[in-house]
Structure formats: C-alpha cells, structure tokens
Structure 1
C-alpha cells in the first residue's frame, strides 16, 4: 500500500509542476483572518445594492459596453486558467489516488498549486460582486438568485478555505469550470458577437449539475467521516447541504421560468 501511495504521489509530482508565479508568497495566513471580514463585505454589498437601485431609480441606465466587455473578458481568462490548472490537478489525484482522497482527505491542500489558486479563488468571489454593479448601473433586472448566490458563495468559500475542507477542492474545480463558460458567454454577448442560442441554457444546466454534484460530494464526505484521516465537520456538512439545496431549487426554478415556459428567452442566472 505504501509503495502504491508513493508511486501515486511520484506520478502526481511528475505530471503537475507549479509555475514560478504559483510559488509566490502564501496568502493563506492573511485569508484565514478574512473569514470574519467576509460578513462585513457581504453586508456592505447588500447595502450598496439598496443604495444603487435607489440612485438609479430616476436615472437612465448607462451603456457601459466597453467596461462590461473588459470585465467579463478578464474574469473569463482567470476562470479558464484556473480551470486548466485545477482540473488537471484534481483529475490526476482522482485517477492516481481515488475519489475518496479528493473528497475526504486533505493531503493535497498544502500543495503549491492548490494554495495559489485557492487563495485567488477566495479573492475572486469579492471581485465577482462587481457583476451586480453592472446590472444596477445598466438598469437590468436584479433577480433574487443573483445576489443571494453571490453573497452566500462568498461566505461559504471563505468558511471552507479557513477550515481547509478537502471537498472544497471540487467546489472550486466545478465553479471555475462553469464560470469559464459563463463569463466567455457574457463577453461575447456584451461585444454583440454571435453565439449559439442554446448556450445560456447549457450554462444554467451546468450550474444545476454543479449543485447536484456538490451535494453528492458533501454526502460522501459525511459518510466517510469515520475513516481515519478523513476530515469534515457536522457544521460544514449542514451548511453545504443547505446552500447546495437552496441553489438547486433556485436555479431549477430559473431554468423552468427562462427556458421551459413559453415566455421568451432569458440569460443565465443574472445578466
């Protein structure tokens, strides 16, 4: 068994080498303290939504086409780069050490690549709040699932990061994957570039699938918690189950309203 594990780790190290920029200063000590600040950030975010909508109520919406293209493009590039690096890493661990290792055991959490991208991933949830600013300033409909999802994902991400939850690796992996497609779509739409009409439906379907898979990973993590070395907490299981459950309901409802009812087409989630 030890030989097999050493071989797996050797194969992993051979296939996935960090780039120089990924070996920069470890941000985790700073971000561990950020958990408390995340509540304040969400509170300010919600207050700014109220203030912003009130300010724009009697004003004409801004076009902001150029800034929106740049904004969506930058987030698309970040998501694509993160997807390539993390999907390759998680895939290697999955095929060399098994699903249980990726869901339950945190041996990979201290890897240089994971430390770098998970730190950026946590910070990106703050940056993504800017999506709401574009919606408000352009006077587009701000639906509940948008601001609820942004708020709770920010809190849940910082919570999982602080507690080094192994199943958070898949949360990051799936989220980056969906966002790489979603922000590419937003970039094309803002630039008025022709794209497949089915793309919005595909994105929403992937978002729903992400919630299903996240719930499954959480349940597996809880089932395997009795095994030596498996790390999870009842608190994390409860909140992940609650959040993924509400996300699934909200996104499924949006899917039904946007694509199944004969009411015209809608955009994925928020834009």
Structure 2
C-alpha cells in the first residue's frame, strides 16, 4: 500500500460496523436536528430585530479555521484513497464498491463526514447574530445535505466516496477562504469566484456519478443503491446546480453593473467571511 494510504492508529481502531449500526438506528434524528435548526433561525432572527448586531470576528475565525483544517485532512485522506482505487481498480470500482465505508483510511472519514453535517449547521448562527443576509441557498443546502448524508450512509450506497471527497475538497477551500477574510487578510475575490465555480462543478459531477450508478445498477454490475435514492440525490444536486448558477449570475451581473470594486464575490453562500 502506498505511503499516502498508510493508516493512522485512530483510523485503524475505528469500528465502522458500530458506526453504521448506530446510523441505521438513529438516522431519523437528522429530522430533529433540522427542525431545531429551522426554529433557531426563526427565533434568532426575531430576537435580533431589536438588538445591535454582534461582531464575533474572533469566534468566526476560530470556527472557520477549525472546519477548514478538518476539511483539509478529510480531503487529503479520502482523496488519496479514491485516487488509489481509481488508478488501481478503475472508475467503476471507485464508484460502485462499498469499501469506502469500511475500508482502510476512508472508513473513519466517511463517518466523520456525515456527523459533521450536524455541527456545520452552526454556520448560520454567525449570519443571524451578525444580522447579515440569509439566502435560501444557505439554509436549504444545510438541511438537505444533513438529511441525505445520514440517510445514505446507513445503506452504504454506491457513489458515496466521490460525493464525500468532492465535498471535503470544496469545504477545505471555502472555509480556508472564510478564515482568512474573517482574520482580516486581503484575499483576491477571484478566489471566491473560483470556489463558487468548484461548487457548481461539484453538482455536475454528482449528477454524472448518479447516472453511472443507475446505469451500472441496471446492468447488474454490482453497484449497490436504490432507485429512489438516486432520484432524490439527482434532484438535490440539480437544485443546487441551479441555485449556485443563479448566485454566480447575480454576482457577475453586479460586477458588470457596478464595477470590480463593488463585486459581491466576498460572499460565497455560507458564512459571510468579509467580517
């Protein structure tokens, strides 16, 4: 096994059977988390109406940096694993095989990924307390990703390795960008444009992977999934694609109308890192 795929002790000791069993028994709790999340948004915005906004610069830096470091490690570990499988066993195996959920290196990061979607809801807390604009894409994405990730992990569906690896990579870029801006560093807004383009690309690749899973599943090629999972996943990715594309268009339109210095690329639709 290449050096990049050597296991750390905590990865080796991780009990994926227990993790999968826990998710099979408790995945519906994701609905509870989403309900509490929605209630906190409504209640928080109501409470902040008559209050001064909070600055929260230092907590925002710490929050973004923590998620950035986590995502970077996740992207490196899962990316190394997926590239190893792709290069040694081919595309179909990388898409269809369930070893991502219980294999070396990746099994810990697969579970860490789905669990991380619950604390990531805290992104919105900064927007509410800082009285910044909360767009539909932000909270819609948080809710649907949490629900779909927990639901799919319990069934170890095909394609999960690519879905999680792509998301780790995008979040590594995104949260690093936010941490830098919240800390007061001058970061080129072209980087924000690039990150949004990677988010759009992620949705396209997600739809392609779903097509491959469905195609190989219909041929009896051992691609474990369910038609309803593929349908919901494809609709989710398509909705993200359209929403991110709309965001990209709006930001580009603002640039053309007001010029470079007024361009709103500082606000990728998660945290507003331009603290």
Q: TM-score, normalised by structure 2?
A: 0.91
Counterpart residue number, 1:94: 86
2:122 to 106, 115, 130: 130
1:32 and 2:21 matched: no
After TM superposition, list the pairs within 5 Å mapping 1:145-184 onto structure 2.
Answer: 145-184=137-176
Distance 1:109 1:189 in 2: 35
The residue matched to 2:269 in structure 1 has which SS? coil
Offset from partner CA, 1:135-163 (integer Å, 9 cap, x none): 00011100000000000000011111011
Indicate if the aligned counterparts of 1:68 and 1:134 stay in contact, CA closer than 8 A: yes
The alignment's C-alpha RMSD in Å is 1.4
Counterpart residue number, 2:7: 18
After TM superposition, list the pairs within 5 Å mapping 1:38-57 onto structure 2.
Answer: 38-57=30-49
Distance 1:118 1:34 in 2: 16
The residue matched to 1:112 in structure 2 has which SS? coil
1:80 and 2:72 matched: yes
Offset from partner CA, 1:10-35 (integer Å, 9 cap, x none): x57x7522100112342332233231
Indicate if the aligned counterparts of 1:201 and 1:259 stay in contact, CA closer than 8 A: no
Indicate if the aligned counterparts of 1:18 and 1:112 stay in contact, CA closer than 8 A: yes
Distance 2:167 2:35 in 1: 23
Q: Following superposition, which runs of at least 4 residues in structure 1 exceed 3 angstroms of deviation? A: none
Gaps of 5+ in 1: 1-10
1:185 and 2:177 matched: yes
Indicate if the aligned counterparts of 1:31 and 1:119 stay in contact, CA closer than 8 A: no
Moved more, 47-56 or 33-42: 33-42
**Number of matched residues?**
260
Counterpart residue number, 1:268: 268
Counterpart residue number, 2:210: 218
Distance 2:170 2:82 in 1: 16
Offset from partner CA, 1:186-207 (integer Å, 9 cap, x none): 0011011011221111111000
Distance 1:246 1:201 in 2: 20
Counterpart residue number, 2:236: 243
Q: TM-score, normalised by structure 1?
A: 0.92
Distance 1:260 1:85 in 2: 38
Distance 1:243 1:216 in 2: 13
Distance 1:173 1:216 in 2: 15
Gaps of 5+ in 2: none
Indicate if the aligned counterparts of 2:97 and 2:223 stay in contact, CA closer than 8 A: yes
